Amino acid sequence: MDIAALSIAMATVNTQSAYGVAMLGKSLDQVSSMGDQITEMMDTAGMELSVNPNLGANIDIRI
């Protein structure tokens, strides 16, 4: 087996592996950021109030 060809093949595999790991890291960062944004939106906006803004504003009491 040719040593030069083996060296090139190993370098190619290492480069592809490093690229794959870098892309996975970016994907994980993006998903984490999206999850944080969704959580923040749910906390600050109050999902029920955005759907039913008058819910809980008035109480009718009869005695």
Residue 51 confidence class, pLDDT cut points 50, 70, 90: low
Given this model, what pLDDT does residue 41 score?
78
What lies within 8 Å, CB to CB, of 49 at 6+ separation is 55
For 6-45, write each residue's pLDDT tens digit: 999 999 999 999 999 999 999 999 999 999 988 887 776 5
- What residue segments make up the domains of the chain, in order of their start? 3-50
Please report how many Cα atoms fall inside a 13 Å half-sphere around the Cα of residue 19, on the Cβ side: 6
Q: Tell me the C-alpha distance between 37 and 57, whole Å.
A: 28
Is the pTM higher than 0.85? The answer reads no
- pLDDT at residue 49 above 90? no
- pLDDT at residue 60 above 90? no
